[in-house]
Structure 1
Amino acid sequence: MRLLLLSDTHLPRRAGELPWQLLAELPRADVVVHAGDWVDVATLDLLESRSARLIGVHGNNDGPALRARLPEVARADLGGLRLGVVHETGPAQGRERRCAERFADLDVLVFGHSHIPWDTTTDTGLRLLNPGSPTDRRRQPHCTYMTATVTGGVLADVELHRLPPHAGRPSGA
């Protein structure tokens, strides 16, 4: 099972649209995970229409329309992998301990908010993933998203993808 992980799209404020490289990943993904701060309903509608399965949560910048359609925390069983999604986990310092306590029933927690890619494993074995943002790099060198696979209940092949500057439509499109 192939996963596409993203967060903090902030459309249309940060970019006019999702980068074409990310959109090209949609048909290859069995599950798309969005960890909040969509900002517009159109992005949710687009990902719902182009995804085999979408798991998403609302973030702190998401208004009433998105909050009505998305939970604050989402949980899913992906072929035996216990996945959770939340937007905010608090400061980086102490994150592993806090998340391991709050999400003791999960194998993987995908989160957003900081726009900073993150990949660590807690002492309890909980894998924490933040895919960064495909549209708003803030102080990071690149806009980013992640892909991964799930086989036999195990997460593997986690890859952070860096997007080129101004990753809008390819020339000639």
Structure 2
Amino acid sequence: MNRLHLAALLGFALAPLPALAGFSFDAIDGGKIDLDDWKGHPVLVVNTASLCGFAGQFDDLQKLHEELGPKGVLILAVPSDDFNQELSSDAEVKSYCEMTFDLTLPMTTITPVTGAAAHPFYVWVKEEAGFVPGWNFNKVLLGPDGEIEAIWGSAANPSGVIRERIEALLP
């Protein structure tokens, strides 16, 4: 149940949270990745881990970045050690992903996606969609309006239905 439904049950009105309002991540290369900069464009946010059995999906995420990035799509990897499968430092993550997967897509610093320390974006996803990552490589697709379009679990490959769903959101 999201916060709007809860407010309605309790008998008071609550303004919806603006989609993407103020969500930014620390970039692994330094600086910030501000999701507000991507309003009007599809955004795929994926919680990743370098040592996960699903890490082979980095290849498909990179391909999406190369092919759809120029069309205005953000593919964002959010490394997380919430499931104890991430390397110990941002520098190690960056180096490993570059050397192993030729990764050039935007990545955040190692970021909590669950629990009390979860990044505000993932708190918002939980409030809006009732979804909390249960493992690595969950995908959250935001539409051009900043609203959640779809969520897929770890096993969903980015090159199939996810790619089709992203392409359908392009102008």
Range into which the TM-score falls when normalised by the shorter chain? 0.3 to 0.5
Higher relative contact order (CA 8 A, sep 6+): 2
* Higher helix fraction (1 or 2): 2
TM-score by length of 2: 0.40
Say which structure is richer in strand.
1
Report the TM-score when normalising by structure 1: 0.39
Instruction: Say which one has the larger Rg.
Output: 2
